[in-house]
Amino acid sequence: MDYRISIAGSDVAFRCEAGETLLDAAERSGYSVPYSCRKGVCSTCEGCVVAGAGRSTVQGEVQGPAERVLLCCLRPSSDMTIAPRKVEKREPVVRKTLDMSVYRITQPAADVSVVQLRLPTGVRAKFRAGQYLQIELEDGSRRNYSMANPPHESDSIQLHVRHVQGGRFSEGVLRGLEKGQKLRVELPFGEFMLQDDSTSPAILLATGTGFAPVKSIVEDAIKRKLERPMYLYWGARREEDLYLAELARKWHTSGKLAFVPVLSQPHDSWTGRRGFVHEAVLDDFGSLAGYQVYACGNPAMTSAAHDTFAEAGLPEPDFFSDAFVHTDTRP
Ligand SMILES: Cc1cc2nc3c(=O)[nH]c(=O)nc-3n(C[C@H](O)[C@H](O)[C@H](O)COP(=O)(O)OP(=O)(O)OC[C@H]3O[C@@H](n4cnc5c(N)ncnc54)[C@H](O)[C@@H]3O)c2cc1C
Ligand code: FES
C-alpha cells in the first residue's frame, strides 16, 4: 500500500510507501526537503501538514492541519498534503553502503580523534563537501559523522570524532579500532553544502569538530578556485581544542579566507578573541543582510546563531546548519 503526498501550493506530488518516512519518499522521488539529523532531534525538517494523517516516531499521531511537524519521522496513514519549508527537484539520492578499512587514527586534541578510512580498491566515494556519513555499529544502530576531506580526495575518508562520555562509538568502538579493521558506512547524507547559486560572502561558523565539514567545504572551494569571500569563525573552550588551527591559519595567511579563532574559557595568556563564537560574528558584522551563514557543531551554538542572526538581518533562507545532535539512529 502506498499514499499520495502532495506539496501545498504546487503541482508536485509523489508516492510514499507504507512504513516509509516522508523525507525518504521525497528523496527517492527526486525531491529534496531540508534536513540534518534524520532522527527527530534538530528540527531542520520541520514543516506543516495541511491535510491528512500520519504517525511520527517522536510526535505520535499527527492529524492535519498541524504545524511544526518533523517530516523525517512522519509515516503517512492516508494521502497527505504537506508544506515543507522548501522543496527542490533533484536527482534521486543514490547512497552506497561500503566496508571501509581503518588506515590511520591520530589524536590532535585530548577529546578528538582524526580517523582516516580507506575505500575498497577501485571504489570511489561520491559526496559533496559538507555532507556526512553514517557508521553502522554491530547492534544495527548508526552514528553520523561529517566527511572532513574534500570530494576530490575520493579514495579515502577523513572523520573528526569528538569523544563523548559513555559514547558507544567514540569511546567504545574507537578505543579498540586498529589499522586494517573494517567499518560499515553508508553515504552520502546531508544538505549542509555551500550554495553554488550564490556569490554572497560566506560566514563559516564552527565549534569543536564542527570544523570537519567546514574543512571539506573550504578545501573544495580552494580546489574549485571559487572567488567568493569567506570568513571562518571557529569557537572552542581553550586554544588546544582548536585541533587544526595551523591549517586554518595557513588559509588565512595565504588569503583564502579570514580566520578568527574565538575562545570561551581561554588561558590568561590568550590575546585573541574571547566569548561565544556567534557573538564575535555579531560584533564584527553588525548587519548580516547580504551574507550567507553556514553553522556547524554544538546545537546550542547553531540555535543561538540562527535566532540572533535573524534579528541581525540574515534572511532565513541564507542560514544553513548541521547541529551535531546525539544520533543513535536505528535504520
Ligand atoms: C549531521 C550530523 C553530523 C555529525 N558530524 C559529527 C562529526 O563530524 N564529528 C563529531 O564528533 N560528531 C558529529 N556528530 C555528532 C555525533 O553523531 C554524535 O555525537 C554521536 O551520537 C556520538 O556517538 P557515540 O556512540 O560516541 O555516543 P552515543 O552512544 O550516541 O551517546 C553517549 C551519550 O552521550 C550523549 N551524547 C552523544 N552525542 C552528544 C552530543 N553531540 N552532544 C551532547 N550529548 C551527546 C548521548 O545523549 C548519550 O547519553 C554529527 C551529528 C549530526 C546530526
Ligand atoms: S529533526 Fe528531522 S532532520 Fe533533524
CATH of the domain at 152: 2.40.30.10
Instruction: Give the residue, by CA position, lying nearest to ligand 1 atom 51.
Output: 324
Cell triple for 313: 538581518
Q: Answer yes or no: do 73 and 36 share one domain.
A: yes
Q: Answer yes or no: do 225 and 254 share one domain.
A: yes
Q: Answer yes or no: do 223 and 163 share one domain.
A: no
Q: List alpha helices for the chain, DSSP H.
A: 22-28, 174-176, 211-223, 245-253, 277-285, 299-311
Q: How far apart are CA 269 and CA 51, in angstroms?
A: 59
Q: Please give the pLDDT value at position 330.
A: 53
Instruction: Give the residue, by CA position, lying nearest to ligand 1 atom 53.
Output: 37
CATH of the domain at 290: 3.40.50.80
Q: Answer yes or no: do 175 and 76 share one domain.
A: no
**Is residue 331 one of the residues assigned to a domain?**
no
Q: What is the distance in A from the centroid of ligand 2 to the CA of 192? A: 13
> In terms of residue numbers, what domain contains 319?
202-323
**Is residue 144 one of the residues assigned to a domain?**
yes
**Is residue 329 one of the residues assigned to a domain?**
no
Among the candidates 147, 166, 189, a domain finishes at 189
Q: Answer yes or no: do 78 and 164 share one domain.
A: no
Instruction: Give the residue, by CA position, lying nearest to ligand 2 atom 1.
Output: 40
CB 50, CB 69: distance < 8 Å: no
Nearest to 222 by CA among 182, 176, 257, 253: 257
Query: What is the number of the ligand closest to the CA of 44?
Result: 2
Q: Answer yes or no: do 232 and 137 share one domain.
A: no
Q: Please give the pLDDT value at position 93.
A: 82
Tens of each residue's pLDDT in the chain, 331 residues: 899 999 999 999 999 999 999 999 999 999 999 999 998 988 999 999 999 999 999 999 999 999 999 999 999 999 999 999 999 998 888 899 999 999 999 999 999 999 999 998 888 889 999 999 999 999 999 999 999 999 999 889 999 999 999 999 999 999 999 999 999 999 999 999 999 999 999 999 999 999 999 999 999 999 999 999 999 999 999 999 999 999 999 999 999 999 999 999 999 999 999 999 999 999 999 899 999 999 999 999 999 999 999 999 999 999 999 999 986 655 5
Q: Answer yes or no: do 288 and 313 share one domain.
A: yes
CB 244, CB 108: distance < 8 Å: yes
168 lines ligand 1 (CB under 6 A): yes
Among the candidates 46, 72, 89, a domain finishes at 89
Among the candidates 62, 89, 116, a domain finishes at 89
137 lines ligand 1 (CB under 6 A): no
Q: Answer yes or no: do 133 and 236 share one domain.
A: no
Helix (H) or strand (E) holding 222, with range, is helix 211-223
Q: How far apart are CA 80 and CA 77, in angstroms?
A: 9
CATH of the domain at 61: 3.10.20.30
Counting atoms of ligand 2 from 1, which one is nearest the CA of 43? 1
143 lines ligand 1 (CB under 6 A): yes
Q: Answer yes or no: do 34 and 127 share one domain.
A: no
Cell triple for 185: 558506512
Q: Answer yes or no: do 231 and 318 share one domain.
A: yes
**Is residue 196 one of the residues assigned to a domain?**
no
**Is residue 146 one of the residues assigned to a domain?**
yes
**Is residue 167 one of the residues assigned to a domain?**
yes
Counting atoms of ligand 2 from 1, which one is nearest the CA of 325? 4
Q: Answer yes or no: do 84 and 103 share one domain.
A: no
Q: Answer yes or no: do 114 and 62 share one domain.
A: no
Number of domains present in the structure of the chain: 3
**Is residue 328 one of the residues assigned to a domain?**
no
Q: Please give the pLDDT value at position 216.
A: 98
